[in-house]
Structure 1
Amino acid sequence: MSVRVTLPEKTYAGYIFDLDGTLVDSMPVHFKAWRWALREHGAPPEVFRWEEFVAHGGMAAPDIVADLNATYGLSMEPEIVADDKRNRYAWLLENETLPVIPETINLVRRLKEQGIPYAIGTGSMPSGALETLLSAGVADLFSIMVTPADVPPGFGKPRPDIFLLCAERMGVNPAECVVFEDAEPGIQAALAGGMDYVRVGECPPVRD
């Protein structure tokens, strides 16, 4: 297995982790759920291929649908499509055991042992995030998680609000935090929040 992330030598006061593609290798299953849901709601086959999916990584699902509407001249209902995608993802997980990304999960275990604050800042809604953590068998490692449900609509990544709320809940100055992210919107959010970031390598492309 190739190394997906090189850990920083510096020790930070707080550590923030994206979930999908950063802690758990769930992106291929999310992609399947997205493609399935979008087809059901009338999106043409060329919409949301792997590269476009990756470019939207970390964004809240309704924001993704709204962006696809604007890009392709579609009229899908963002909340309805987002809910459908989440339901299809949950259904797919019934037959999947998601693998963790060892470098980041091992870091989380060390942080827990040392009592250093850490949190999840994800674009997934609470139910989907919990399903991901349970499938990977690591839900017990996390007590702080911020999702789009914790910020106003439209204030998810690439805005910094999710990560800033993570820092607040950890009791750590944002400038003393590092964010682990695999997607560009999340990296933009970290920079907008005045935080350092570590890029996690993407998983191999999925073709459909």
Structure 2
Amino acid sequence: MQKSDVERSEVVIVSVKPEVVGPALREVKDVPASKGKLFISVAMGVSTATIEKNLPAEARVIRVMPNTPALVQQGAAALSRGARATAADAELAAQLFRAVGSCDEVPEYQMDAVTALSGSGPAYVTDGGVRCGLPRDLALRLAAQTTLGSATMVRQGGHPAQLKDNVTSPAGSTADGTYHLEQNDYFAVL
């Protein structure tokens, strides 16, 4: 991270690998202009407390978990505020990420769940089809269309439980699959 870039910026986006966050921030910790800045981190798994301890006491921190659909303006992001971040800081960060999708504020303890669901979620859907024997290209097309269609139904007012009920027949494959997930504590992990 360049000290001159931090000095010229009102908002500093921290977009480095998690293991680099501490060293990068320590490079600018003693830069006088860092004191009142808003730092927005997209580094996966790095808490606001960790970021704050590597910055001047007056710095404000927002942690954001975006996802790759932001590349096509369909991202799903969540943010949490650090100890000194204001409502205005959170709104500014949310506006930045809403430019490429949605952005919700959550308590920091929910950020790992956000990472698992929206950050890593796209991988799980396609790989499930491949594991069941589908060619990757077909699994990808089916997973993409299924999630797009299901998401559209939910956004139009459908409830996820109703979507599940609509495809669950007595003794059918969906009933068997959800039973298997329940028996293996899948829902407890969520």
Greater share of strand:
2
TM-score (norm 2): 0.29
TM-score by length of 1: 0.27
Bigger fraction of residues in helix: 2
Larger Rg: 2
